Amino acid sequence: MSALLGRLRLRLRSGSAAKAVATGALNTLAVLAVCAAALDAVGWALTLGGVVLAANALGLRRRPRALRHLGAWGAARTVTAVAAVVLVAGSDAPRWSVFTAAALAALVATEPSGARLWRASSRPVMNLPGFDLRRPYARSGGLVVLASVVLVALTALGAVATWLAVVAAVGTLVDAAVVLGWTLQAARDRGRLDDEVRAALEAYAPRFMVYLSGPGGTQYQLRTWLEHLAAVDRRWVIVVRESPLALAVAELTDVPVIAARTLAELDGVQLDSLRVAIYVNNGAKNGHNVRYRDLTHVQLLHGDSDKPSSYNPVTAMFDEIFVAGQAGVDRYEQHGVSIPAHKFRIVGRPQVQHIARATTDRREHVLYAPTWTGFHADNNFGSLAHGTLLVSELLAAGWTVTFRPHPFSMGDAASRGHIADIHALLEADRAASGRNHLYGAAASELDLDETFNSSDALVADVSSVPADYLFSEKPFVLARVGQDDDATFLADFPLARAAYVAHAADAGEVRDAIARLRTDDMAATRADLRRYYLGDFPVEGYGQVFVDAVRALVDAPRTAGQQATDDDELDASELETDELDAGATD
C-alpha cells in the first residue's frame, strides 16, 4: 500500500492527474464536435472543434520543437478531424475536401509511430571524440502538430469558404511531403547511427563506464562522484538510459555521454576495452546492464545513510559494493539482507575529503539541511514539514542560519510551501536582528561542503547529510519524524548515537537539543562513529583510497563471462517510451 501511495504521490507531483483531466475534457469536446457536425449545427461544431485545436496550439508553448508533442492529445485532434470530415461532407464544399480531412486524421494517428522513429534517429551522444551528431536539419515535433492544427481548422472552415478548402488541401499535401521526407531520412539515419556510435566508441576505447538511469533530476546523484571518478585517470564514458537525463548529465561534464535508450543501443556500447561498470543508484533498469557478465559491476550509491535505500536487497546483484565504512556493511545484515562479505569494500567517502575538521568552539552559524519526502511513505524521513518550528527555535537561541533543503523538495507543492514559510521567517529575522542568514539561491549556489565548512553545527534528519557532516566532528541535531520508540529508532538509525535527537514536532525537545549544541558533551562519540561510518583512514590522502580501489579494478584483466542475451527480455523497440525520451532532439 505504501508503494502504491508513493507512486500516486509522484504522479500527482508531475502533473499527470491534471493532464489526464485535460485529455478527457478535450476528447469529450471533440466527440461533441462530431455530434454537432452530424446534426448540421455548424456553429457549434466549429466552436467545439476550435477549442480543441486552440488547446493543442497552446500546449506547444513550452519547448515547441520537442518530439514529445507528437501524438499529444492525438485522439482529440483525430476526432476533431473526423468532425471536419462530417462537416465538409454535409456542406457545399468540394467533395475532395472530405479526403483532405481524412488524410489529416490519418497523419495525426501515425504521429506516435513517427515520433519513435524520429527519436531513434537522433540519439543524444555528447562529448565523444570522432562523432558528430549534427544533421542538415532538425525534425520538429511541434511544427508537425501546429501544421495539423492549422490545416484541420482550415479544412473545417472550408465548409463555409471554398477558397479555404483549397488552401487546406495544398497545405496538407506539403505537410504530408515534409513528414514523409523526415521519416525517410530518420529511417536512413537510424540504420547508420548505431554503427557510427559504435565505431567512435571503439576508437575512444574507454576502460570503464558509469551507468545511470532515472527520472528528471537524477543527475545530482552522479554529480557527487564526477570529480572522484575523473581522478581515476582512465578513459571512461557515461551511459544513460533516458534521453532527457543524458542531456542534463552532459551539462555537468566533458566526459562522453551516450544515451542507450533500448536494449539494442545498450548492447552497442558493450566494448572489449571496458573492464568495469559503475552504478550510483538502484535504478530499475540496472539489471539490463548487470547481465553483461564480462564486466565487473560496482555499486557506489550516491549517499551513505541509515535510510532503506542504503540497504536495498537489490544491491546484492552487483559484484562489488563500495561502502564508506563498516556501518555500510553492517546495516545490510542488521536489516535482514544477506550479502556475502567478500562483495563489500570499505573505501571511505571521497566527497567528504574537503570538509574541514572543527578547530574552534565557536557556536554562531548553523546549517539546516532537511531531506526530501521520498518517493514512498516508508522512506519519508524529512523534517521540512516541521521546519518553521525548528528554524524558529534556532532563531530564538541566537543562531545565524543557513537553510539548504534537498533539491527534490522543489518538486513537491507542500514542500515548496514549507520552504517559502522558512524563507519568510529568515527574512523577517534578518530585518529585525541584522543576522546574515543564507537561504534561497544564495545557499543553493554553494557546494554542500562549503556550507558544512562555514557552519559550526548542523540540524538535519535521517539522510546522508549528517553522515557526511560527521567527518567534521562538529555537533549536530537529528530531527526525527514518525512514532517509533527511542530504542527502535536508535537500532534503525545508529548514527543517532552521535546526535542530539529531538522529535521534529516537539518544541520542548527541539529547544533542548539546540541548547546542547553549545554545551556539547558528545565529541568523543562523534569521533568513534566517524571512523565507523566513514572509514578509519588518515585525513591526509583520504580521498585517494576510493580512487585506488576503482583504478585497481579497471586495470585488472577483463572478466571471462557470458555473452548477454535478450531471450527473456522485451524486444528492444518495445523499450522506447515517449515520456522518458521526450527531449531527445531538443
459 by DSSP, 3-state: which?
Answer: strand
Q: What CA–CA distances, in Å, run from 493 to 73, 486, 497, 556?
A: 48, 10, 8, 37
Cα 342 to Cα 348: distance, rounded to the nearest angstrom = 17
Ranking 151-165, 331-345, 523-537 by mean pLDDT, the lowest is 151-165
Q: What does CATH list as the number for 205-348+563-575?
A: 3.40.50.2000
- Other Cβ atoms within 10 Å of 63 Cβ, number: 14
* Same fold flag, 205-348+563-575 and 365-534: yes
Q: Which CATH class is domain 365-534?
A: alpha beta
Cα 355 to Cα 469: distance, rounded to the nearest angstrom = 8
pLDDT digits (tens, 9 = 90+) for 250-270: 999 999 999 999 999 999 999
**Residues in CB range of 538: below 8 A, 6 or more apart:** none
Q: Are 156 and 44 in contact (CB under 8 A)?
A: no
Q: What is the pLDDT of residue 226?
A: 97
Grid cell of 120 as nine digits: 531513434
- φ/ψ of residue 321, rounded to 5: -125, 110
Cα 384 to Cα 409: distance, rounded to the nearest angstrom = 9
Q: Are 345 and 320 in contact (CB under 8 A)?
A: yes
pLDDT digits (tens, 9 = 90+) for 176-185: 888 888 888 8
As a residue count, the chain comes to 586
Whether residue 583 is predicted with pLDDT greater than 50 in this model: the reply is no
Q: In what order do the strands lie in the sheet with 400-403?
A: 400-403, 365-368, 457-460, 476-480, 500-503
pLDDT band, residue 11 (cuts 50/70/90): very low
Q: What is the pLDDT of residue 556?
A: 93
Whether residue 568 is predicted with pLDDT greater than 70 in this model: the reply is no
Q: Give the type of residue at 13.
A: R
Q: What is the pLDDT of residue 5?
A: 35
Tell me which long-range contacts 91-95 makes (C-beta under 8 A, separation of at least 24).
Answer: 91/42, 91/159, 91/160, 92/162, 93/158, 93/159, 93/162, 93/165, 94/162, 94/165
Q: What is the pLDDT of residue 115?
A: 76
The secondary structure of 433-454 as a DSSP string is H----B-THHHHTS-HHHHHHH
Q: What is the pLDDT of residue 564?
A: 44
Q: In what order do the strands lie in the sheet with 320-323?
A: 125-126, 257-259, 236-240, 208-212, 276-279, 296-299, 320-323, 344-346
Stated as kind and residue range, the H or E segment containing 460 is strand 457-460
Whether residue 467 is predicted with pLDDT greater than 70 in this model: the reply is yes
Q: What is the mean pLDDT of residues 114-126?
A: 79
- Each domain of the chain, given as residue ranges in start order, spans 17-128+137-197, 205-348+563-575, 365-534
Q: What is the pLDDT of residue 16?
A: 60
pLDDT digits (tens, 9 = 90+) for 229-247: 999 999 999 999 998 899 9
What is the radius of gyration, based on Cα positions, of the chain? Answer: 29
